């Protein structure tokens, strides 16, 4: 892995239409065998990035270098899995793959093409459906054929344009696991664009976060340090998963907008800031939930669900990090003296006011570049800058619930959904910034028609307006 000469290198790429700059002077690289995801909202130009990588679109300036050669157009070496599968409906699944193969190997005869196409379809579990036309295949099967077609080419690089976004959740999950497996097996260099956070966490080694458009930029690179192999069933049990997920979600919800045309101080387009919300890659792969204390995270509010049958007190003895609390009081004073608003401070580090307030008040841990920005603005010393980066809680994380029904619910609410956030949002509106010291108590209520789970939330909710 060499940062100096990545396998694929996007250099100073600009794409603009008259009166509308999609992005300018974009730099990033993809290393050999690496899986990189580009995450951003619709309209931020991520499809344009992919089309330029594929050679389907041309940059106005700058270029893309793959394996030492600048690309000039589309190539068999950069296979694309399209969003809408893009199978030819007049060909069977096998003919679709064979057509691609015939372009790769013009000398092959029909039998060779057929055998290779069959083999490629077998790999994605579609051997039995090879003779069916796309109209006779389900959405997931069609996308499998698209994947088989791309992988059969044995490309230097695999490009994926939101390949699963048109599929239902169940099919999508299965395909994500499968792509994860296939890409790992082939040690395939891959670049994917998506707006599905879990998908990015499952598949990517690095996640590029792109701000909203127009004139978007890549705000930072998130290193996904979660151990491989990952699969959806165990992903949420990996230590650091929630921190990683919250970090990306937070970016999509607030910072992607705040940072538009307004990069963070110290941001360098040629050396993008790298963050590791899930911690350094040092833990051995533990597929089971780890009962040992896990360091809290970049984002302080780690849900602490507790299974209770019947209600029990949560097993938590988390204490606030006093140094951070003290620093919070100091920052409040500085802020008052300087007549600053949270929005002003937030603008400095390119985060939302709510997030910045929480960070300053000791509710979250800062990334080093955020801490640097805050220290510069507020005149903090080095020790205080380090305190900003510390974790807000000292304590143990609770065990996931053991009751299977409650566990299922816990998964639904906390892992797959953002229901609790929606609930808080409805209650308190935009002024709410985070919940502290809150408990979630899940009770199993026996019912003849099927047991139900009652969720009770108690806690303090930190309001942005309070400060």
Partner 1 sequence: MNSKVSAWRAALVALAIFVGFIAVWESLATSGAGTTTVDPEYAALVGQAAATGGQTPFPRPSDVAVRLWELVRDPFYVRGPNDQGIGIQIGYSLLRVTAGFLLAALVAVPFGFLIGMSPLLNAALNPFIQVLRPVSPLAWMPLALYTIKDSAVSAIFVIFICALWPMLLNTAFGVASVRREWLNVARTLEAGTLKTAWRVILPAAAPTILTGMRISIGIAWLVIVAAEMLVGGTGIGYWVWNQWNNLSLADIVIAILLIGFVGLMLDRALGAVARLVAWQE
Q: Which is nearer to partner 1, 15 or 444 (CB)?
A: 15
**Alpha-helical runs (H) found in 153-270:** 169-185, 197-203, 232-235, 241-250, 256-258
Residue 283 per-residue DSSP state? S
Q: Which is nearer to partner 1, 40 or 155 (CB)?
A: 155
Instruction: Count the neighbouring beta carbons within 10 Å of the beta carbon of residue 48.
Output: 20
Burial 124-143 (b: 16+ CB within 10 A, else e): bebeebbeebbeebebbbbb
Closest by CA position to 193, among listed 74, 56, 39: 39
| Nearest 10 degrees: Cα torsion 108, 111, 114, 117 | -50
Shortest Å distance, C-beta 96 to partner 1? 9
Rounded Cα gap, residues 136 and 139, in angstroms = 10
Tokens 């699969």, located at residue:
231
Torsions phi, psi of 150, nearest 5? -70, -45
Residues in the chain: 467
With binding defined as CB under 8 A, does residue 99 bind partner 1?
Answer: yes
Active-site choice (408, 427, 452, 466): 408
Rounded Cα gap, residues 53 and 29, in angstroms = 11
Stretch that binds partner 1, among 129-137, 188-196, 437-445, 456-464 (CB under 8 A): 129-137
Q: Are 257 and 229 in contact (CB under 8 A)?
A: no
Closest by CA position to 145, among listed 159, 119, 126, 169: 126
Q: How many residues bind partner 1 (CB under 8 A)?
A: 25
Per-residue binding letters, 151-190, with partner 1 (x by CB under 8 A): --x-------------------------------------
Q: Are 71 and 8 in contact (CB under 8 A)?
A: no
Q: Which is nearer to partner 1, 50 or 351 (CB)?
A: 50
Rounded to the nearest 5 percent, the helix, strand and coil shares of the chain are 40, 20, 40
Shortest Å distance, C-beta 49 to partner 1? 15
Rounded Cα gap, residues 341 and 358, in angstroms = 14
Torsions phi, psi of 14, nearest 5? -125, 135
Q: Which is nearer to partner 1, 91 or 396 (CB)?
A: 91
With binding defined as CB under 8 A, does residue 1 bind partner 1?
Answer: no
Shortest Å distance, C-beta 82 to partner 1? 6
Torsions phi, psi of 222, nearest 5? -100, 120
Shortest Å distance, C-beta 208 to partner 1? 22
CA angle 193, 40, 15 (to 5 degrees): 80
Shortest Å distance, C-beta 184 to partner 1? 23
With binding defined as CB under 8 A, does residue 191 bind partner 1?
Answer: no
Shortest Å distance, C-beta 288 to partner 1? 42
With binding defined as CB under 8 A, does residue 108 bind partner 1?
Answer: no
Stretch that binds partner 1, among 127-135, 289-297, 339-347, 363-371 (CB under 8 A): 127-135
Torsions phi, psi of 349, nearest 5? -105, 5
Shortest Å distance, C-beta 83 to partner 1? 8
With binding defined as CB under 8 A, does residue 131 bind partner 1?
Answer: no
Q: Say whether 434 is catalytic.
A: yes
Q: Which is nearer to partner 1, 11 or 57 (CB)?
A: 57
Q: Which is nearer to partner 1, 84 or 289 (CB)?
A: 84
Tokens 């350094």, located at residue:
280
With binding defined as CB under 8 A, does residue 120 bind partner 1?
Answer: no
Q: Which is nearer to partner 1, 145 or 278 (CB)?
A: 145
Please report, as residue ranges, which positions from 36 to 75 form the binding site for partner 1 (by CB under 8 A): 54-56, 73-75
Tell which one of 40, 45, 134, 240 touches partner 1 (CB under 8 A).
134
Residue 310, preceding peptide bond in cis (omega within 30° of 0): yes
With binding defined as CB under 8 A, does residue 139 bind partner 1?
Answer: no
With binding defined as CB under 8 A, does residue 107 bind partner 1?
Answer: no
Strand 78-81 to 69-70 pairing: unpaired
Per-residue binding letters, 4-43, with partner 1 (x by CB under 8 A): ----------------------------------------
Q: Say whether 172 is catalytic.
A: no
Please report, as residue ranges, which positions from 79 to 98 form the binding site for partner 1 (by CB under 8 A): 79-80, 82, 84, 86, 88-91
3-class secondary-structure state, position 245: helix
Q: Which is nearer to partner 1, 104 or 269 (CB)?
A: 104
Q: Which is nearer to partner 1, 91 or 334 (CB)?
A: 91
Closest by CA position to 50, among listed 154, 198, 191, 195: 191
With binding defined as CB under 8 A, does residue 128 bind partner 1?
Answer: no
Active-site choice (348, 411, 443, 463): 411
Shortest Å distance, C-beta 94 to partner 1? 14
Binding site for partner 1 (CB under 8 A): 54-56, 73-76, 78-80, 82, 84, 86, 88-91, 99-100, 103-104, 133-135, 153
User: What are the catalytic residues?
Assistant: 408, 411, 434
């Amino acid at each position: 892995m060499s940062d100096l000469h990545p396998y694929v290198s996007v250099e100073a790429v600009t794409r603009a239409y008259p009166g509308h700059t999609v992005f300018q002077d974009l730099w990033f690289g993809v290393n050999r065998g690496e899986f990189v995801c580009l995450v951003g909202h619709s309209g931020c130009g991520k499809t344009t990035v992919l089309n330029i990588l594929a050679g389907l679109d041309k940059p106005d300036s700058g270029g893309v270098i793959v394996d030492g050669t600048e690309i000039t157009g589309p190539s068999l070496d950069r296979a694309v899995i399209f969003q809408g599968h893009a199978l030819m409906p007049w060909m069977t699944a096998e003919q679709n793959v064979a057509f691609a193969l015939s372009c790769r190997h013009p000398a092959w005869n029909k039998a060779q093409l057929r055998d290779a196409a069959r083999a490629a379809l077998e790999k994605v579990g579609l051997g039995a459906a090879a003779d069916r036309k796309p109209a006779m295949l389900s959405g997931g099967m069609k996308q499998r054929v698209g994947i088989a077609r791309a992988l059969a080419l044995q490309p230097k690089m695999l490009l994926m344009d939101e390949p699963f976004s048109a599929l239902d959740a169940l099919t999508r999950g299965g395909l994500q696991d499968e792509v994860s497996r296939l890409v790992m097996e082939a040690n395939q260099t891959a670049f994917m664009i998506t707006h599905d956070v879990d998908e990015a966490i499952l598949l990517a080694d690095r996640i590029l976060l792109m701000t909203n458009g127009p004139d978007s930029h890549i705000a930072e690179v998130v290193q996904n340090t979660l151990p491989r192999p990952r699969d959806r069933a165990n992903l949420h049990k990996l230590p650091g998963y929630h921190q990683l997920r919250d970090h990306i979600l937070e970016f999509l919800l607030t910072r992607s907008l705040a940072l538009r045309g307004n990069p963070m101080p110290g941001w360098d387009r040629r050396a993008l800031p790298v963050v590791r919300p899930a911690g350094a890659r040092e833990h051995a792969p533990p597929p089971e939930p780890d009962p040992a204390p896990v360091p809290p995270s970049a984002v302080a509010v780690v849900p602490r669900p507790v299974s209770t049958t019947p209600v029990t007190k949560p097993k938590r003895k988390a204490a606030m990090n006093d140094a951070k609390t003290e620093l919070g009081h100091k920052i409040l004073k500085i802020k008052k003296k300087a007549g600053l608003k949270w929005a002003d401070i937030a603008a400095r580090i390119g985060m939302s006011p709510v997030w910045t307030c929480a960070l300053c008040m000791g509710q979250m841990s800062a990334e080093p570049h955020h801490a640097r920005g805050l220290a510069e603005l507020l005149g903090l010393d080095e020790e205080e800058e380090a305190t900003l980066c510390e974790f807000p809680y000292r304590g143990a994380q609770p065990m996931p619930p053991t009751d299977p029904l409650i566990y299922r619910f816990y998964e639904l609410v906390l892992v797959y959904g953002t229901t609790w956030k929606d609930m808080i949002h409805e209650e308190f509106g935009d002024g709410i910034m985070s919940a502290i010291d809150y408990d979630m108590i899940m009770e199993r209520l026996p019912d003849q028609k099927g047991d139900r789970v009652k969720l009770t939330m108690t806690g303090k909710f930190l309001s942005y307006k309070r400060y």
